[in-house]
Structure 1
């Protein structure tokens, strides 16, 4: 099986790169088109014009459409996997179909692509041209069909087994990266309110994120706000270094699960996440992870598990085992969806 993998491959913490690594394990041969690049002024202007409702295409980063056409003109691919694909033109997908009708074109995105802030004009034009669209948002299937999706499929979030795994931490790792309760990620109103609630009630909380979080620096003596996020090795280590890792969902995307849903337990961390039906289906509550539906419940559970280390460790170990047994890794998840598609096509 020969695959062309298209996406933003920059940064070791990049989930697109992690999916590319999984494709490398699955394919017999693989080529790549890296769409990463500097966000130009015109890119930002075009994106905001699109947000205001104008049919303006955002510019490419690396002449990726030309690269794809060039590769397809000289090589037959069984699958072209396009990650996010907001800079890919419909003309490019039409060329692929004309040149190689048997090639299966798959779109994947970790974002809610039914929402305009995640889309682009060319992405909207491309939706009907993809053979399959893969999403980790179960609730957007009908919305995507209304936008023209021919075949859209839901998969759970997945983790990269060569990046998200338990490390042997030093005392310095625990000191530099961890603490009692931790969160790694961007500011959002609801998650901020939850963290401030914990701090207000005397619990030690550490936030890695910078940006808007810095506004709350010094608000409580037991609230530590770091002026940056965590990436690469430190990102994975932090989930182990914290006694409790918080998992919040992006309200702007209406998430029911997120990448941290699987990354935290896959790294050997103890996770408390917002309670949803999808979370409860992926991990058994009280045995493989913990969940909360209010700040009061979050506080109560954090207070309990901070002083019950044995139970905390048992749940973290069980969460890791669940990730492995249920095949939540990128390789297993992507292999299964590709095999399903190929079996239908054969």
Structure 2
């Protein structure tokens, strides 16, 4: 099977995990790096907000050229913010099947890179959708009549890296690893105001938090540093974006896989993935966050929690190799008459 992935080629992008695993599974794969054909200048962002697709013209033209040259059986588009309906129709007219996976949400837009007119308009044009959310999976399948498969997020943590990070000394503080928004900043400020120590890692936190004696702000972390930070702290806080409410996010699997102690929003999917109070902890309100944090910072049996979280992640097949195998199984059905 020949597969063209249209998305990001960045090493930290979700696409990277599938690129890594699909080739050894027998897929002939090439990547169309959308970022190479779109410049998100201030002017471009303004035009996009006004519904002007001109900043995306080059990406659409070049994707069609890539399809013509590579002749893929399947084109897998991540998100699809940049691609217009006419482009997708032309791809289908050339015999390729169209597949979409949106790690944000097709109908909820919180930034230029999330949702938008192109994404919504193109939903009916795909032959198959993958969704991280069960509710969204059902919505697309029921409302659009398109085959839709639940494909949760996962983790990619090699054993030598885990062995390395597991030896790091624990830091008896709360940590949040991710970028800010108003809700996340409010929760962090509330914890700090209650006297709880918090370290945050990500871009532009200074704009949201300012200075506080109980808050330390650090730059974003990647690679081995990322895994060490989500393992090392006593409490690893997980706060949903609006489009993840009721479902899960990437940290859902990354934190437990590293043996981190995750405090995350309560949701049906979280309850299905991990045992509350044993492998992870789930809060139903912002008031509960403080209570759980105080309890976890005072506990002595955290080694057992870490071990159970790690074991569940491995034994339940939450890694991206398993996700890639599921993806391949589903797209192979597209080729059958």
TM-score range, shorter chain: 0.7 to 0.9
Aligned match of 1:234 in 220, 225, 228?
225
- Structure 1 residue 65: Cα displacement: 3.0
2:156 is equivalent to residue 160 of structure 1: yes
Aligned to 2:5: 5
2:64 is equivalent to residue 57 of structure 1: no
Q: Say whether the 8 Å CA contact 1:256–1:276 is kept in structure 2.
A: yes
Aligned to 2:312: 322
CA distance in 1, matches of 2:42, 2:122: 24
Aligned to 2:265: 274
- Structure 1 residue 75: Cα displacement: 3.6
CA distance in 1, matches of 2:330, 2:27: 18
Aligned match of 2:133 in 137, 145, 151?
137
CA distance in 1, matches of 2:208, 2:116: 32
Aligned match of 2:321 in 314, 322, 331?
331
What do the CA deviations read for 1:169-210 (whole angstroms, capped 9, x no partner)? 498x659xx552100122233333332333233222111134
How many residues in Structure 1 have an aligned counterpart in Structure 2?
A: 331
TM, length-normalised to structure 2: 0.86
CA distance in 1, matches of 2:41, 2:125: 28
CA distance in 1, matches of 2:244, 2:15: 18
Structural mapping, 1:174-213, within 5 Å? 179-213=172-206
Against the structure 1 CA distance between its residues 91 and 168, is the aligned structure 2 distance closer, same or farther, given a 3 Å change threshold? same
CA distance in 2, matches of 1:16, 1:164: 22
Unaligned runs of 5+ residues in structure 1 are 51-55
Aligned to 2:63: 68
| Greater alpha carbon shift after TM alignment, 138-147 vs 263-272 | 138-147
Aligned match of 2:92 in 94, 97, 116?
97
CA distance in 2, matches of 1:45, 1:153: 34
Unaligned runs of 5+ residues in structure 2 are none
- Structure 1 residue 148: Cα displacement: 4.5
| Greater alpha carbon shift after TM alignment, 235-244 vs 297-306 | 297-306
CA distance in 1, matches of 2:325, 2:148: 17
- Structure 1 residue 341: Cα displacement: 4.0
Aligned to 1:251: 242
CA distance in 2, matches of 1:116, 1:274: 21
Q: Say whether the 8 Å CA contact 1:112–1:137 is kept in structure 2.
A: no
CA distance in 2, matches of 1:164, 1:182: 23
Against the structure 1 CA distance between its residues 90 and 27, is the aligned structure 2 distance closer, same or farther, given a 3 Å change threshold? farther
Q: Secondary structure at the match of 1:245?
A: strand
Aligned to 1:297: 288
Q: Say whether the 8 Å CA contact 1:3–1:80 is kept in structure 2.
A: yes
Against the structure 1 CA distance between its residues 3 and 139, is the aligned structure 2 distance closer, same or farther, given a 3 Å change threshold? same
CA distance in 2, matches of 1:223, 1:305: 18
TM, length-normalised to structure 1: 0.84
